[in-house]
Amino acid sequence: MNDLLGFLREDGVWALALAVGLPLALIIATELGFALARRRHPSTLWMRRTRIWVLPAIAAVTYLRAVLELPGDNAWVRLAETATWVAIVIVALGAANAVVFEAAPVGSWQQRVPRLLRDLVRTLLVAIAAALAYSFIWDREIQGALAALGVTSIVVGLALQEPLGNLFSGLMLLMERPFEIGDTIEVGGVSGTVKEINWRSAHIEALGGMIQVVPNSTLNKETIANYSRPLPVRMELLELAFSADEPPNKVRKALLDVARATKGVLQSPKPIAATIGYGNHAVNYRLIWRVAEEDRWSVRNDLITRIWYMARRHGLAMPYPVNVNIQHMTEAPFKKAGLSPAETLAQIPHLPRVPAEQGGVRALAFGKGEVIFDEGQLLDGVYLLVSGAVSMQLVRQGEVAEIAAVGPGAFFGEAGMHGTQAADSRAVAVDDTELLLLGPDTVRRLFEASPTLARDTGRVLDVRRKALQSARSALRHQSIVNAR
């Protein structure tokens, strides 16, 4: 009986504490892990590793030292203590990284710290902890271990040249910091947003969401274009060729007009159109503009599309980039057959057939979203919509009011009906449109040949005038309300 009481007083207390305390600690750690998982906290993983690694290691050390009463220089005790301290350091550093850096708000300085730097600092601290454990637990001098480690590192270094090359390249990039997470870069034919930087590579999200992994050694050797510094503005350029018969000044002005009118093209610095050389039967041009990085593809699409319509309505020929021998036996120009503007006018059903003077009818084409004419612009004729749709608008201080929707066969731009006058509203192409610009003499002949057409057109124009007056009053009232 006395022996039993002595066992409980000495060894039994620790045994009982382990038998009760370890399961209780595991249950608490499990519940904490579930609570963190429900909140999707980054430290969930490290709470799970505390339950799997740290608690059993502490229990093992306690069992060996307190229950079995093994001496501190016993090999099993030293192994258990070394594993315990290393596990505690690894888990503590991982939990600190999760709380301080991974759970940091978007845009904070913690989130901008590269993952490579965090991994290196954590590895260094673990190595220091292992060295201290080697010194104090095993009673050994660190100098001898460092000498042996130096010889071993030479062998390991020769075997791991490529991974170590990526590691040291990553260190050099970390010191120079040519880009950060979230920057848009282009390197070695890869373009996209940097999502992650680690000890071996950088993860770049390209257009469409595809992740491309670029080794640090490649980043260190290639030229890196960072489009997020100093401002997230990208310079875009487009090379085009127009017929050698077209005056360069006319072409460059038309290109600049399209660039300025395209939404998303930055006006500072201004777009540039330059004549850069002569090609085969063509003059080469370069158009340069600036655009926000996130808008560059949509703006480029709109601008290139509008250039085609601009070339059509200005009569600018864009030669095909081919080199062939063509034998054409007639003297007529080799081009695609099509109706002339006068023939197109004659085919519109509700219009009378009248002869059109030379230059009295011109065919124009506009792309979706293009401004056909703006308020205050001088008009030297009336527009007739052949196909597509046009919106007549009034704009005041950024507020847009639609006056009328114009369909095929209808006239608009009546300010130029009797000569050159300023437009009182804006016309915007709702879809791809084809137009005829009729000179005042041609319009007069149409109305003289068909009084009914003149009367119906007058009614439509009168309705538009009233709608324009109502829109002006509404916008004026709205501006007064906003001013108050």
Regarding predicted confidence, which is higher, 259 or 417? 259
Q: According to the model, what pLDDT value does residue 241 have?
A: 92
CA 248 to chain centre: 35
Residues 195-220: tens digit of each pLDDT? 887 767 888 888 777 888 888 777 77
Q: According to the model, what pLDDT value does residue 252 have?
A: 93
Compute the average pLDDT of residues 298-304.
92
The C-alpha angle with vertex 255 and arms to 405 and 276, in degrees rounded to 5, equals 165
> Which tokens in the block code for residue 392?
């007549």
Q: How far apart are CA 111 and CA 7, in angstroms?
A: 55
- Look at residue 463 and tell me whether its pLDDT is greater than 80: yes
Tell me if 322 sits within 8 A of 281, measured CB to CB.
Answer: no
Q: Tell whether omega for the bond before 269 is within 30 degrees of 0, i.e. cis.
A: yes
Q: According to the model, what pLDDT value does residue 412 have?
A: 92
Regarding predicted confidence, which is higher, 326 or 271? 271
Compute the average pLDDT of residues 427-447.
89
The radius of gyration of the chain's CA atoms, rounded to the nearest angstrom, is 39
- Look at residue 323 and tell me whether its pLDDT is greater than 60: no
Q: Which of 85-99, 141-155, 381-395 has the highest mean pLDDT?
A: 381-395
* pTM tops 0.85: no
Q: According to the model, what pLDDT value does residue 321 have?
A: 59
Q: Tell whether omega for the bond before 230 is within 30 degrees of 0, i.e. cis.
A: yes
Q: According to the model, what pLDDT value does residue 446 have?
A: 87
- Look at residue 299 and tell me whether its pLDDT is greater than 50: yes
- The average confidence (pLDDT) of the chain is 79
Q: Could you tell me the pLDDT band of residue 417, with boundaries at 50, 70 and 90?
A: confident
**Of 341, 339, 372, 332, whose CA–CA distance to 359 is shortest?**
341
CA 241 to chain centre: 29
- Look at residue 439 and tell me whether its pLDDT is greater than 50: yes
Tell me if 425 sits within 8 A of 403, measured CB to CB.
Answer: yes
* Backbone torsion region of residue 402, taken as left when φ is above 0, otherwise alpha when ψ lies between -120 and 50, otherwise beta: beta
- Look at residue 304 and tell me whether its pLDDT is greater than 90: yes
Q: How far apart are CA 245 and CA 263, in angstroms?
A: 31
201-205/272-279 β-pairing: unpaired
* Residue 81 CB-density burial (10 A; 0-12 exposed, 13-18 middle, 19+ buried): buried
* Residue 47 CB-density burial (10 A; 0-12 exposed, 13-18 middle, 19+ buried): buried
Compute the average pLDDT of residues 132-152.
62
Q: According to the model, what pLDDT value does residue 4 have?
A: 46
Tell me if 398 sits within 8 A of 357, measured CB to CB.
Answer: no
Q: Could you tell me the pLDDT band of residue 165, with boundaries at 50, 70 and 90?
A: low
Tell me if 363 sits within 8 A of 344, measured CB to CB.
Answer: yes
Q: How far apart are CA 393 and CA 470, in angstroms?
A: 12
Residue with tokens 């009011």: 401
3-state SS, one letter per residue, for the chain: CHHHHHHHHHHHHHHHHHHHHHHHHHHHHHHHHHHHHHCCCCCHHHHHHHHHHHHHHHHHHHHHHHHCCCCCCCHHHHHHHHHHHHHHHHHHHHHHHHHHHHCCCCCCHHHHCCHHHHHHHHHHHHHHHHHHHHHHCCCCCHHHHHHHHHHHHHHHHHHCHHHHHHHHHHHHHHHHCCCCCCCEEEECCEEEEEEEECCCEEEEECCCCCEEEEEHHHHHHCCEEECCCCCCEEEEEEEEEEECCCCHHHHHHHHHHHHHHCCCECCCCCCEEEEEEEECCEEEEEEEEEEEHHHHHHHHHHHHHHHHHHHHHHCCCCCCCCCCCCCCCCCCCCCCCCCCHHHHHHCCCCCCCCCCCCCCEEEEEECCCCEEECCCCEECCEEEEEECCEEEEEEECCEEEEEEEECCCCEECHHHCCCCEECCCEEEECCCEEEEEECHHHHHHHHHHCHHHHHHHHHHHHHHHHHHHHHHHHHHHHHHHHHC
Residues 245-256: tens digit of each pLDDT? 888 989 999 999
- Look at residue 157 and tell me whether its pLDDT is greater than 50: no
Q: Could you tell me the pLDDT band of residue 122, with boundaries at 50, 70 and 90?
A: confident
Q: Could you tell me the pLDDT band of residue 144, with boundaries at 50, 70 and 90?
A: low
**Of 222, 219, 226, whose CA–CA distance to 165 is shortest?**
219
Share above pLDDT 90 across residues of the chain, in percent, rounded to a whole number? 17
Q: Could you tell me the pLDDT band of residue 429, with boundaries at 50, 70 and 90?
A: very high
Q: One-letter amino acid identity for 423? A: A
Residues 366-392: tens digit of each pLDDT? 888 889 999 989 998 899 999 999 999
Tell me if 355 sits within 8 A of 441, measured CB to CB.
Answer: no
Q: How far apart are CA 396 and CA 391, in angstroms?
A: 16
Length of the chain: 484
Q: 291: how many CB neighbours lie within 10 A of its CB?
A: 21
Residues 26-44: tens digit of each pLDDT? 788 788 878 877 777 777 7
